[in-house]
Structure 1
Amino acid sequence: MKKNKSYYLLFISILLLSCGDSINKTKPDQVVNVSAYKDTPYQQDYSIKYNSADDQKISEAYMDRNGVIQLLSSDGILRTHDGQFLYPGTLVKDKTYRPLTNKKISSFLVYKNQFVYLDDKSVFSNAWAGDLYITHDLTQAKLFAGSDNFEFLISDGKILQLLSKDGAGWKGDIGDEVLEILYDSSNKLFWILGTHSVSSFDPNKNILTTIEQEEELTSFTLFSGKLIVGTSHGYAEIDTTTSKIDGTIKNKLPVNDITCISTINESLWFGSSQGAFKLRNDGKFDYYYGKRWLPSNNVKHISQGKDESILIVTDAGLGQIEFKKMTLFDKAQYYEDQVRDRHIRLGLNATLVDMNNGNIDSGRLSDSDNDGLWTSMYLAAEAFRYSVTKSDEALQNCRESMESMERLFSINPVPGFPSRSFERSGYIEKLNNPDRWQHATDPEWDWKSTTSSDEVIGHIFAYSVIAELMDDDLKDRAIILIDTLMNHIVSNDLYMVDFDGKPTTWGKWNPKYINARPKMVGDRKINSSNIIGMLQTAYHFTGKEEYKEKALNLINKHGYLENLMRPMDQIASAPSDADDWSKMLSESWNHSDDEMYFLGYWGLYKYAFNDTLKTKYKKAILDHWEVERPEKDGAWNIITALTGTSKFDLDEAVWYLKEHPLDLISWDVKNSHREDIEFIAPNFRAQSIKEVLPPDERRVQRHNSNMFSLDKVGSDGNKEYSAGDIWLLPYWMGRYLGVISEPQQLN
């Protein structure tokens, strides 16, 4: 535990700096005529959480000029203990000032960057040598705010009283229940919020003005010269000169049930019964929901911390949203460490599962049907990293994963057949899909059968990247694996044949299978695209004519070029008279196919037999990319850049990389209730809303998932995904292609 905590303390320091790396300036695949994204520091958000005890009721939290956080609770004043990114802290009773523990503190605030308290007798502070101490006679006082010159307006929910260093003075009431008080420095007024009223009080003239409101109000703040007032169904803007609502209630919010509002760093922050959100300059919202950000979603109070952090009080504790400047390279360094620290299982890129409520020290590394695929993507990422940085660590990572990829072939008895995975013997009944596991010849090991087409395309993609970029034995080993795998497929009549002598369910590229599918069924297009790309890759690196001849035979005699060139807008559900298998294949858009397509495009385009084919392939890739644009997937945009096009949504690829949360834990998320997103009619692609949400507002997901999925519940904090395939692949490929620059320092 201490080792890991030290690691995350180091992570915080990494965020503060942007480090350079050694660049290989001669990258053969650098995209021309495209302005690279300059990797300058941006604001990366993440959360530090502090959980409260079950019986503690917290109402508010503030941070003073010293960085001390205090919270008001049913147990008195609390403070934060421990707490780091991914390691939640706790809230403990603050015993720093012993006399405070005996006072009946009902509220407190940060005034002139110092803590000021309200109890049943006085307003007081430990700052200013304890000189601030003003008595009052509202024994149930619970609300207050301070002016610029040490005047305080307090209330017990009914009566208002003005206090100054001269003592207690003016009293009055608004004829309504007082909910909040704030001070307006610009107009030298106090504002008082009631359940159905907004009042102003001039402390210089002792004049109280109350305007009744039709709406039931919940909270308010001052913003851009107006009062922003929350309700249970949105918020309103109130003109400070008339105290009347300006326009209509704004109710296109993530959640309309407003519990609190704060103005922080010239931005509006809202708390609700379902998380917190910030109004952006473009009129949209950053939404903080779930345990990725908060101990619970029932938000009670929001305030500003030092260094632009945000303190969000919930009924289960405190969430401190931190913002640190970092470059994409800094983020990559953090993710590189994340993968190596807890996502390498026998050299394979794995997921951490069976975690207890997000505790990364409680998880275990899991096998997967797609161990070969996820590892292929990570292996390619490290190869790209090595190409641009010449990092010894990246090279070692490549070597370790290559050994595992090679063992996927050698651990089973079928020549040229890559296992899905392998594991030590004795655990079959505890592994994923135990019926797929087989005993190896070595009694110490088991291997996973039924390898599918998505693993195969991942293998060929990774090996071609290694063969292209490496000059040592890794290059030769990668070419051997390309030849070994493709020889198996070609020798078995374009099928993947398992240990039982039968083709696997998905490893089928034979014309009898592919062309049996109706033209609108996606498998006809995807399998044609993949096998041509794989055969081209095998021919490019081995020079064996049989691979070229087989590919040209499929193109010229079996219509595979026509299949792969079919426009994406023609992919749809099979007709009613189609076979059941085709109907099943085309029930909806298959996002795993997208992953297979784009990984396959690497070999399809790069190793085309001639320029005529390359031109056609580019057209097919751009047609597919056009359909995928709404998802803003970083990998698909970066891979499309391989074609040399200048229109591949570089800004959206960078958005994908920036908006990914540092926390890749599978917290529950919900977005289907949001009023600020525009829903669209059900469709074949299962795109539910007009504009995709940022990665940090949706579930953590790989590239083979629907980016428009809005909700994910039932796995709250039980696994952590590896960044190896999700993030590092598009980043390092972007660096290799020259569309993302090395880290830049700001002057």
Structure 2
Amino acid sequence: MRIRLKTMVLMLALSMGMVALGQKTKKQAFITDKPFTQEYSIKYNFDNSRVKLKTVASDRNGYIQVLTNQGLLRPRAGEMLFPGELVKDVQYRPTSDKGLKSLDRYKDQLVYIDDKAVLSNAWAGKLYTRHNIPDASIFAADDDFTFLISDGKKLCLLKDTDVLWEGTASDEVKDLKYDALNQQYWILGANSISVFSPQKKKIDQVVNQSTLTCIEIYKNDLVVGTSDGYFKIDTKTQQPGETFKKLPWTEITTVENIDGELWFGSTWGAFKLNDTNNYSYYAGKRWIPSDNVIDIAKGPENSVLILTDKGLGKICRKEMTLYDKAMFYEKQVRERHIRNGFNATVSNMVDGDVTTGSLETSDNDGLWTTMYLAGEVFRYVVTKSDDALQNVRESVDALERLYTINPVPGFPSRSFERRGYKYHDWPWRRAEDPEWDWKSTTSSDEAIGHIFAFGAIAELIDDAELKATSIALIDTLMAHTLKHNFYMVDWDGNPTKWARWNPEYVNARPIMVGDRKINASNYIGMLQTAYHFTEKEKYKEAAFYLMEEHGYLENLMRPMNEIGMAPEDADELSRELSDGWNHSDDEMYYCGYWGLYRYAFNDELKAKYKEAIIDHWKYERQEKEGLWNIMTALAGPDNYDFEEAVWYLQKYPLDLVNWTVLNSHRKDIEFVEPNFRKQTIKEVLPASELRISRHNANRFDLDSRGDGRSENSAGDIWLLPYWIGRYLGVISEPVQK
């Protein structure tokens, strides 16, 4: 006869003593949570093929203008996730009606050229330097309002009302830059670079080359962009240096020195030179409306403006701590990603618009929710937030219902949904309640997620009902697997495809097949958790039976470097399971390590488990996965690349939309030979340049065609590693400047 779960919970709540709250000794965290620079994008789209976008600039007041072949545009509206647009600028018609030919920032003000003068609305409009080159469209200025202008052929040096020099270039003039250090002007020609000395009134050619595209002054050099990389010219000696081609993309369209940072635009995105001589890459709709970059400029409030042929991208840079970022993500999850208490994805979106998408059911609703739930448990433990505790209650309600909505005692459904609102017919089953359906074929990754989260609640949450519910759910799930000979058995009386921990299945795999190790590791941890909180000997006896009689300890201790492809004569399933490293296994291992290590039966086993965990971390180390590095702190006080974990957390995009992300074309990454590990390049890229992915993905995957069709929840991706990092003492409380 089936025992109703609610009755079990009430009995446990009445009979059990309070399980001791896990206490941590207060100590200095490894990483101090100081403010860092968080980047995100606001986009302003423009779709008019008859209008050619040319340059962008902003002034000290934050006013942004875009010059086109048909006048001035300005941004309208726009915020992160909700693009604005570029519209006709009519704010000050005496300027916008002039038929302007050029626009730039000079002394933090907007300066223009029309057919009569160099002019500005700053300085009370007193800057109005007349010229006699009607088609002038290029200018550069020294520090004292002296302007060199050109129409592409003629050159004229102007100061106030005086013409200081006039001349004709031997090559078509494309751009001008003033070199304050050497008090000279650099001239970019179609096929040359020259330098003009105002003192000598003389032009000298320095470089003759046909691939030149743009120039900029940077420190003591002139940086020269080409159609195949860039090079530098020493502005004092006028000697060119080597050409740099190890770039995200080599077809350079523009280069800009913004407050000492060197930015490049190209025909495939924008990038910035970092202090380590590598490049941060801003490509795809996560950052800019189009990858064809026309111009780059300094923007308001420490932003960078990237003008493309389809509009403007404003790269905003905000000082925040990891805690600030966590609070941003907490809001994101609660506003858009909670479905019936589950941590869910928004899908079927149109071009990144989160208001066009719908919350979806998932085969792994249970797993993604338990990972978010565990994060909220750790949040509550370190902050005592009532909000976190309520989030825990709501997710536990959803997980508890997974067990009661189906007719199989102790069996957790994959998910449930209102009847008529499901994405696929299989494997949905009708619930007793005619309003609902439930999803069957639950897998081992669901089970390990449940045990991880319920164990964390049972140990750490100071709420009797939540503890009792969690322990009851651990007990009912694990009793089900013991009753069914180490299998999870579905509605039809048969084991599900993947929830199989029986030795006949596990040990049927050759020893190098990862399923043999992962199933042993997970199941021993699950049995330990059940024994720790219920004190029922059957769980302890089952664990030692599997370890001593069926080699489960040997299985889980097998070094990661021995995991590989099954031999050709192995069975079909073993060969299918070992065609490459399974990153879902990484996620399952680490969810399982909580119970494996924390609730070990004895110190001898605990020492062995520590060895296995650290061996796994070393195998995964090159991936710089924030959660793995942080959770390895379970095994002891050493530093498991915690700086890399914080790098992961800091670089993860605020925008969790699954945009198309492409990197395999890049020329600044070093590819490696195909391998079992599925590592594609020598050094993993930062999260800001990769697709949005859960922890079961390969961080060495370079390309993804997301097209803005979905938005992931930060609940499992980011909040779990952050909050468990706070709990384990890896990350400190926020420290302001």
**Contact 2:27 2:729 (8 Å CA) reproduced:** no
Tell me how far 1:162 sits from its aligned partner. Answer: 1.3
Q: SS at the partner of 2:674?
A: coil
Tell me how far 1:269 sits from its aligned partner. Answer: 0.5
Amino acid at match of 1:419: S
Amino acid at match of 1:567: P
**Contact 2:21 2:462 (8 Å CA) reproduced:** no
Q: Is it true that 1:355 corresponds to 2:368 in the alignment?
A: no
Structure 1 match to 2:550: 558
Tell which deviates more after alignment, 168-177 or 588-597.
168-177
Q: SS at the partner of 1:336?
A: helix
Cα distance, 1:29–1:597 mapped onto 2, change above 3 Å: farther
Structure 1 match to 2:30: 36
Give TM-score scaled by structure 2 length.
0.96
Residues 701-735 of structure 1: CA deviation (Å, up to 9, x unaligned)? 0000000000011x211110000000000100011
Listed as ranges, the matches of 1:317-356 within 5 Å are 317-356=311-350
Question: Percent of counterpart pairs with the same letter?
Answer: 58
Structure 1 match to 2:142: 147
Residues 456-498 of structure 1: CA deviation (Å, up to 9, x unaligned)? 0000000000001112210110000000100111110011111
**Contact 1:457 1:596 (8 Å CA) reproduced:** yes
Amino acid at match of 2:710: K
Q: Is it true that 1:119 corresponds to 2:119 in the alignment?
A: no
Partners of 2:453 and 2:82 lie apart in 1 by 35
Among 53, 60, 82, the residue aligned to 1:58: 53
Structure 2 match to 1:459: 450
Cα distance, 1:319–1:244 mapped onto 2, change above 3 Å: same
Tell which deviates more after alignment, 352-361 or 235-244.
235-244
Gaps of 5+ in 1: 1-25
Structure 1 match to 2:163: 168
Structure 1 match to 2:591: 599
Among 67, 90, 115, the residue aligned to 2:62: 67
Structure 2 match to 1:718: 709
Residues 38-81 of structure 1: CA deviation (Å, up to 9, x unaligned)? 11111111111111132332111111011100110133111111
Listed as ranges, the matches of 1:41-440 within 5 Å are 41-55=35-49, 56-246=51-241, 248-427=242-421, 431-440=422-431
Tell me how far 1:131 sits from its aligned partner. Answer: 1.4
Listed as ranges, the matches of 1:648-727 within 5 Å are 648-713=640-705, 715-727=706-718
Tell me how far 1:119 sits from its aligned partner. Answer: 1.3
Among 601, 618, 623, the residue aligned to 1:631: 623
Cα distance, 1:148–1:719 mapped onto 2, change above 3 Å: same
Structure 2 match to 1:18: none
Q: SS at the partner of 1:306?
A: coil
**Contact 1:31 1:737 (8 Å CA) reproduced:** no
Q: SS at the partner of 1:308?
A: coil
Structure 2 match to 1:23: none
Amino acid at match of 2:343: N
Q: SS at the partner of 2:606?
A: helix
**Contact 1:154 1:161 (8 Å CA) reproduced:** yes
Residues 281-336 of structure 1: CA deviation (Å, up to 9, x unaligned)? 11111110111110111000011123321010000111111111100000000000
Q: Is it true that 1:445 corresponds to 2:445 in the alignment?
A: no
Partners of 1:209 and 1:560 lie apart in 2 by 79
Q: SS at the partner of 2:203?
A: strand
Structure 1 match to 2:462: 471
**Contact 1:174 1:199 (8 Å CA) reproduced:** no
Amino acid at match of 1:448: K
Amino acid at match of 2:704: K
Partners of 1:59 and 1:95 lie apart in 2 by 18
Tell me how far 1:163 sits from its aligned partner. Answer: 1.7
Amino acid at match of 1:122: A
Partners of 2:731 and 2:207 lie apart in 1 by 56
Partners of 2:354 and 2:633 lie apart in 1 by 36
Partners of 2:27 and 2:642 lie apart in 1 by 13
Structure 2 match to 1:742: 733
Tell me how far 1:276 sits from its aligned partner. Answer: 0.4
Cα distance, 1:128–1:568 mapped onto 2, change above 3 Å: same
**Contact 1:33 1:646 (8 Å CA) reproduced:** no
**Contact 1:50 1:83 (8 Å CA) reproduced:** yes
Residues 206-250 of structure 1: CA deviation (Å, up to 9, x unaligned)? 22222232352101111120111011111001121343312x211
Tell which deviates more after alignment, 111-120 or 701-710.
111-120
Q: What is the root-mean-square deviation of aligned Cα atoms in Å?
A: 1.4
Partners of 1:57 and 1:359 lie apart in 2 by 26
**Contact 2:29 2:732 (8 Å CA) reproduced:** no
Q: Is it true that 1:733 corresponds to 2:724 in the alignment?
A: yes
Tell me how far 1:648 sits from its aligned partner. Answer: 1.1
Partners of 1:478 and 1:29 lie apart in 2 by 19
Tell which deviates more after alignment, 196-205 or 357-366.
196-205
**Contact 1:75 1:93 (8 Å CA) reproduced:** no
Partners of 2:516 and 2:142 lie apart in 1 by 72
Q: Is it true that 1:528 corresponds to 2:523 in the alignment?
A: no
Tell which deviates more after alignment, 149-158 or 701-710.
149-158
Give TM-score scaled by structure 1 length.
0.94
Q: SS at the partner of 2:704?
A: coil
Amino acid at match of 2:101: S
Q: SS at the partner of 1:400?
A: helix
Partners of 1:642 and 1:183 lie apart in 2 by 57
Partners of 2:111 and 2:420 lie apart in 1 by 63
Tell me how far 1:151 sits from its aligned partner. Answer: 1.2
**Contact 1:115 1:125 (8 Å CA) reproduced:** yes
**Contact 1:291 1:668 (8 Å CA) reproduced:** yes
Cα distance, 1:670–1:27 mapped onto 2, change above 3 Å: farther
**Contact 2:220 2:236 (8 Å CA) reproduced:** no
Aligned pairs, how many?
716
